[in-house]
Amino acid sequence: MIRKLLLAALIFAVLGLGNHINAQETTPSWCVSVWYPSSEQPTGMDSIMNNLDVIDTVHPFWYNGLADGTILPSLDAEDADELAAWREADLTIMPSIWDGGFSQGLHDPAIRAKHIEEIVALVERMEYDGIDVDYESFQLPTRDDFSTFIEDLATALHARGYQLSIAVHAKTEDAGAWEGAAAQDWSRIAAAVDVFQIMTYDYHNRAGEAGPIGPPQWAHDVIAYAATVTDLSKVRLGLHFYGYAWRRGNPAMPIPYSSVAHWIESFDLAFTRDSADMEAHLDFKAPGLPAQTIYVADAIGLEFKLDLIMKDFPELGGVAIWGIGGEDPANWDIIREQRPASCAQS
């Protein structure tokens, strides 16, 4: 009888431990990452330092990947004061690397291997937490080689305890709506990386007609597709904190919320909104200034978007923000209010 009681107690303890482990594995995590600089405004660093309570990861845009596999730092790379401030704030630091010609050598296994070696050496030398790959607009024939590169890079970084994140073009099916999106094989890439950041913005952009930059229903559909490909806990929804101003006959120009708010106050104007997307919209006509159509992110539109997406996808792993500096300050309050959990991945 005693043996049976002891055995039962042991089984109960093991099952209890297993339940504890499972509970740890499913602990909610919702992380906020920012790319920096990601606007032409000089206040991006202020945006980070003023909102450290909700920002977990910073991606400084500091490096170019070249055609021969080497890395070229930008002129403002590795800023000692910025790094010291971020480290003191205990932010995860994963610099972004973008295509400075690497796509031209992507087909060559030797160049891919060299590039991976250079990235790992950079992360180790600078004591970063990992790297963020932001290689965009590749041609379709690079699809398999790019996936192989990401898989091999992830293996090399993970072997040394570093993380890998990636920024990908938004799409609602594998083929996407254009070649750059089709060239990214989400099923392979998402399986390899730690963080999968989807650029759900620029639906209307500089080259096209005026319209919402990040329509909520489109973003919702993109996340719905992502859910068929990967665990949404590693996915971060791309948010735009900037705006565009379209002038007749010219490409749109990026514009910060702060400039639009100044015009609204100066000329006694008001935003209009379509109930389908709630993105702030302004048809701006003022003496001495060119007529322009403006769409810009603000707190009202952001709240509408997060309400729509988080309701259907509560397992989403967080957001990734482009366009800090001159943004609507109330955007950060919405992030604070909507955030369902702290970040457990940083």
- Assigned domain for 219 exists: yes
Distance (Å, whole) CA 237 – CA 28: 16
In the predicted structure, residue 25 carries a pLDDT above the cut 70? no
- CATH at 225: 3.20.20.80
**What separation, in Å, do the N-terminal and C-terminal C-alpha atoms of the chain show?**
49
What tens digit of pLDDT does each residue of 82-91 get? Answer: 999 999 999 9
What is residue 9's predicted lDDT score, i.e. its pLDDT? 38
**262 torsion bin: left (phi>0), alpha (psi -120 to 50), beta (else):** alpha
- Assigned domain for 8 exists: no
Counting the structural domains of the chain, the total is 1
Distance (Å, whole) CA 23 – CA 292: 53
Structure confidence at residue 99 as a pLDDT band (50, 70, 90): very high
- Assigned domain for 19 exists: no
- Assigned domain for 186 exists: yes
- Assigned domain for 162 exists: yes
What tens digit of pLDDT does each residue of 2-11 get? Answer: 333 333 333 3
For the record, the structure tokens of 229 come out as 């490909």
Task: Please classify residue 315 by burial: count the beta carbons closer than 10 Å to its beta carbon, then call 0-12 exposed, 13-18 middle and 19+ buried.
Answer: middle
Residue identified by tokens 């006959």 is 249
Of 263, 324, 336, 258, nearest to 293 (Cα)?
263
**pTM, entire model:** 0.91
- Assigned domain for 285 exists: no
| Domain region containing 139 | 29-244+297-338
- Assigned domain for 73 exists: yes
Residue 295, beta-bridge partner list: 244, 281
- Assigned domain for 280 exists: no
Of 321, 255, 284, 273, nearest to 54 (Cα)?
321
